[in-house]
Chain A
Amino acid sequence: MIEKTAKTPSGTRAVVTVIGEDKVGIIAAVAVILAEANANILDITQSIMQEFFVMIMMTDLAGLNIPFDELKARLNRKGVDMELKIDIQREDVFKLMHRV
């Protein structure tokens, strides 16, 4: 994956996940919320989990201009609006679970 991710300090990164039916405008909608909060998108991948569409965005929250909880609430609300499940979690969860 892309090079710049290796340079951002660990601990400020978070993973945005979007789960649901694929539709127009998902990336745009999430990207706007992240941009408004000054969160930098480092990488985007898409995948299929069982029958669901899954989009994963790695973000860097080092310059975040709102509290984490507020960003999470905004993403959750957008998910409800778009009939998707949108969430954000600190990256450590994923990193630690699969590695010693």
Chain B
Amino acid sequence: MSFSAISPQEIIETIRMVQMEKLDIRTITMGISLRDCASGSLADFHRQIYDKICRMAERLTRVGDEIEREYGMPIINKRISVTPLAIVAEGVAKSPDDFVAIAATLDRAAAAMGVNFLGGFSALVHKGATPGDAALMASIPQALATTERVCSSVNIGSTKAGINMDAVAEMGRVIKAAAQATASTHGLGAAKLVVFCNAVEDNPFMAGAFHGIGEPDCVINVGVSGPGVVLRAVEAAPDADFGEIASIIKRTAFKITRMGELVGRAASERLGVPFGIVDLSLAPTPAQGDSVARILEAMGLERVGTHGSTAALALLNDAVKKGGAMASSHVGGLSGAFIPVSEDIGMIEAAAMGAITFDKLEAMTAVCSVGLDMIAIPGDTPAETIAAMIADEAAIGMINRKTTAVRLIPAPGTKVGDWVEFGGLLGRAPVMPVNLHASTGFIARGGRIPAPIQALNN
């Protein structure tokens, strides 16, 4: 194609999207398999995982920076995901303390590679937990309190397997303990922990990224962003009906995803690593103009959380997927709109004034990716109540055959209306009220919620 095919208007549009509307590549995430490290002693294992991560990711940040300069496209994060540690370390790590030590090694490797997060301190227990899974889950609070960059996730349910309610109960306690172990930073440990139903194997976004067991030895996945670009496009069409709004969002999502495709392919080529997927999620940041909530408000809602918010989000989420799917040969990961509270200025405002509630957020997660995300709740919320929240969210995912997730921060010592500051991309949030009626008896039952029937879909 010659230059004559690119119009100056298109060049200006691209520049405007990057410079004024905060279009960026949110993350280049290198997935690294650690399966070949599972041999020898525990000491060997530490050395092998450190060496493998450093060998594969040696040039990751350098190449990321190089692509950013050459293409003029900001790449905000370079990250690493690894095979769930419960799977690869089970043969050598016998106790929670062994897993805490492994997390420390992962943290050192992430620091050495210059990445801000490394995901995969994970266990997949949707049907049941092995001794290794149980040891890893027990180690999570301490592991997250003693490391900076390690992110953890646990899959407790799936559409095919149902929901492991024993694991749900355990994760209620783990989330609470993770927050308490990091009380000095308002429970930051819990912000690095995601509980999934139907977790995906190629998610590039943190804190839930891990390198799935069906993935190759090493792979590059890219997460794009750009709520600001979609917001501006929607704002420019105040009188458009919903058919037109959907078209506008589709066109915009196409352009955003093309950038992800370009950067992913360039990174893959330069690193000599296969290109996996583009995750075409709308991921907000606390920055002004980088908000998913504002897009819903631009559709005509006074504040996100009011009646109509679920419908607006459903339209947005679907149109983003339709536009993005055209733009890349391989779309994957979570792919949809994220609605974290503390990371989105519109959500923060709506939560502070009571326009959006915990229950409305739960309803909205039924039509978007991913779940109850970055919500601060009172520090004295019982572990059983947190477990019941996980169970509700997992049920939405299980029945609707989609990924759902829970990332709650029971901020120690806080009450409803207090503010919790996490800093940086994690933002700040008001502590939101939760239902005070107990779920204790429900969580105490244990066992598994059976997998749902896959027909009679009403």
Interface residues of A (CB under 8 A from B): 1-2, 5-6, 10, 13, 15, 17, 19, 42-43, 45, 47, 49, 54, 56, 58, 68-69, 72, 85, 87-100
Contact = CB atoms under 8 A, between A and B. Distances in A.
Contact of B4 (A5, A13, A15): A5
A98 B255 contact: yes
B184 to A, nearest CB: 41
Interface of B: 1-6, 8-16, 19, 66, 69-73, 255, 258-259, 261-262, 326-327
A95 B6 contact: yes
A5 B2 contact: yes
Nearest to A89: B72
A43 B206 CA distance: 43
B8 A90 contact: no
B5 A93 contact: no
B262 A96 contact: yes
B59 to A, nearest CB: 16
A98 B10 contact: yes
B335 to A, nearest CB: 18
A94 B11 CA distance: 6
A-B pairs, 6 with minimum CB distance:
A89-B72, A6-B2, A5-B3, A1-B4, A45-B8, A98-B10
A99 B12 CA distance: 15
Contact of B12 (A10, A54, A85, A89): A54
Contacts of A96: 258-259, 261-262
A56 B8 CA distance: 7
A47 B3 contact: no
A100 B259 CA distance: 12
B11 A15 contact: yes
Contact of B3 (A68, A85, A91): A91
Nearest to B326: A100
A90 B11 CA distance: 12
